[in-house]
Amino acid sequence: MIKKSILVGMMALLLSPAFAQSQPEAKELNLQQAINYALDNNESIKKASYDELGSKYQVNEARSAGLPQVDVKGSAVRTLEKSMIALPADFNPEGTGPLIRPVGTDNVIQAGVSVSQLLFNKSYFVGLKAVKSAEDLYRIRKEMAVEDVIYNVGSAYYQILQTQEQFQSINANLQKLEQLEKILTLQYKNDLVKKVDVNRIKVNKINLESQKQTLQTAYEQQHNVLKFFMGMPLEQPITLAGSSDEQLITTQPGLAGADVASTERAQFKILNKQKELKSLEIENIRAGYYPSLAAFGNYNYQSQYDGKMIGNSEAMWFPNSQVGVQLNIPVFDGLRKKAQVQQREIEMRKLDVDIQQYNKNTQVELNNAVSQLGNSQGNISAQEKNVELAQEVYDTTNQLYKEGLAPLSDLLNAETALREAMTNLNNEKLKYQIAQLNYLKAKGELESLTK
């Protein structure tokens, strides 16, 4: 009785308005909305944005070296034990040997300000160009992060849509088997069919229910993957409003030259920017052969006295100041800079090879995407006809079975063939959608999906 009361209480809580309101409302998303949500919330894009912002501060840091450097300094030193100096005996009025005297005073206090200004340093100006180029690099890396997120969200999105269609196919076949099971069970009770026929239907039904359960697990996992790429909380329920038949490509897919296809991709821009930075490194090393010039000035107050350190009326302060310029002329560094330049030149050549390889890889991706698009379009048409034929065979076999002109095995085989045809059609639709994403990625046009 107590258990029953607890169960009733729990059911009342689940059905109460307060509990219902605590559940988040399902968010309906099409592909564009899913991508735009990801662009605002994905962690990889956020990190890339922080890197881009940090690069702006790096520019300010590099620029600061060319501005006046001002320091205020002060020191107070109490000498606990003075060093001693020995003077020749000629200085000793007593004539008993060298004259020993302490050096310095008990207290040394100094305060002042120093100013320096860089007048010329070629490395400074090259460094400014380098940090500005690095700022562009971080911006492009963010573009690359955006491309990856769009592709991953699109791929996960269409996998879910294809799984939803598989659910529809499995549910439709389950309904057919359940109806057939009811008919055969009734016929078996009236001794019109054998029990083995009823069991065969049950086996097929159990197998199909197991497939559905496996598909349900995969469906939940796919939702979690999509939410991860979107940066959405996993507890937020979502429904997808799109269709697996959506056309992502508005123009006729076509092949383009490797150079044309690559230039719009973020990875290609990164390689070129890295090459630019490497050339600036070489320029910066060579700038070390140039002299540098800086101006400086300082103004100080200083006091040296014996006795008490604080409150000593005999302490006197004296000003001192200097101004000047400092010139540094490099003469010989043991050919260190030459070796550094040679190393960077080798790295430049490697980047040239990377760019050539990337162009070829882009061409391969584009060719494969166009080929897969054409192949999938043909396969979708063929599988649609195959589904129609399988449906026609099933309907005919089902009618013949009802009339007693076809065995149960023919009906079950027709049902299996229809289910396989629908699964093959769904798989080809998924391949086509992924091929569209691959084509847009190869062309550097994934951001068109956000508009």
Q: What is the pLDDT of residues 64-95, one digit of tens each?
A: 999 999 999 999 999 988 888 877 766 677 66
For residue 8, pLDDT over 50 is answered with no
Which structure tokens are listed for 427? Answer: 């798989």
Q: How far is CA 207 from CA 194, 203, 204, in A?
A: 21, 6, 5
pLDDT of residue 216: 93
Whole-Å CA distances, 83 to 100, 103, 171, 392, 400: 10, 6, 99, 112, 120
Q: Read off the pLDDT band of 241 (50, 70, 90).
A: confident
Query: How far apart, in whole angstroms, are the C-alpha atoms of residue 73 and residue 243?
Result: 71
Reported as a single tens digit per residue, the pLDDT across 294-343 is 999 999 999 999 888 888 888 889 999 999 999 999 999 999 999 999 99
Report the chain's C-alpha Rg in angstroms: 41
Q: How far apart are CA 7 and CA 1, in angstroms?
A: 10
- pLDDT for 95 equals 63
Select the highest-mean-pLDDT range: 317-326, 401-410, 415-424.
317-326
pLDDT confidence of residue 78: 92
State residue 339's pLDDT score.
96
Q: Which of 104, 57, 99 is nearest to 81 (CA)?
A: 104
Q: In the chain, what percentage of residues exceed pLDDT 90?
A: 58
Alpha-carbon distances of 239 from 92, 225, 244, 407, 436, rounded to whole Å? 104, 14, 14, 42, 22
CA 26 to chain centre: 27
Rounded CA separation 301/283 (Å): 44
| Tens of pLDDT, residues 255-271 | 555 556 678 889 999 99
Within its chain, how far is the Cα of 300 from the centroid? 54
Q: What gap in Å lies between CA 305 and CA 79, rounded to an integer? A: 11
- Mean pLDDT for the chain? 87
Backbone angles phi, psi at 19, to 5 degrees: -70, -40
Tokens of 321: 């100041």
Q: What pLDDT is recorded for position 84?
A: 83
Residue 99 pLDDT grade (very low, low, confident, very high; cuts 50, 70, 90): confident
Q: What's the CA dihedral at 392, 393, 395, 396 to 10 degrees?
A: 110
pLDDT value for 2: 41
Position 39 scores a pLDDT of 95
Q: What token pair was written down for 245?
A: 């038949």
> Which tokens hold the place of 294?
């800086």
User: Which one is predicted more confidently, 95 or 101?
Assistant: 101
Percentage with pLDDT > 70 across the chain:
90
pLDDT over threshold 50, residue 238: yes
Distance between CA atoms of residues 442 and 451, nearest Å: 19
Q: Comparing 36 with 17, which gets the higher pLDDT?
A: 36
Q: So what's the pLDDT on residue 98?
A: 78
Q: What is the mean pLDDT of residues 238-252?
A: 79
201 has a pLDDT exceeding 90: no
Cα 189 to chain centroid, rounded: 64
Q: Residue 13 has what pLDDT? A: 42
Instruction: Give the span between the Cα atoms of 255 and 234, in whole angstroms.
Output: 40
Q: Write out pLDDT tens, residues 155-191.
A: 999 999 999 999 988 998 888 888 888 888 888 888 8
Rounded-to-integer distance, Cα 81 and Cα 353, Å: 68
Whether residue 272 is predicted with pLDDT greater than 70 in this model: the reply is yes
C-alpha 373/C-alpha 253 separation (Å) is 8
How far is it, in rounded angstroms, from Cα 390 to Cα 416? Answer: 9
- Tell me the pLDDT band of 358, cut-offs 50, 70 and 90: very high
Convert the pLDDT of each residue in 381-395 to its tens digit: 999 999 999 999 999
- Residue 177 is encoded by which pair of tokens? 């088997």
Amino acid 131 reads V
What is the pLDDT, as a whole number, of residue 430?
Answer: 92
Instruction: Report the distance separating Cα 148 and Cα 4, nearest Å.
Output: 54
Res 260: pLDDT: 60
Quick one: pLDDT at residue 108? Answer: 93
Residues 117, 119, 123, 129: what is their CA dihedral angle, to the nearest 10 degrees?
A: 90
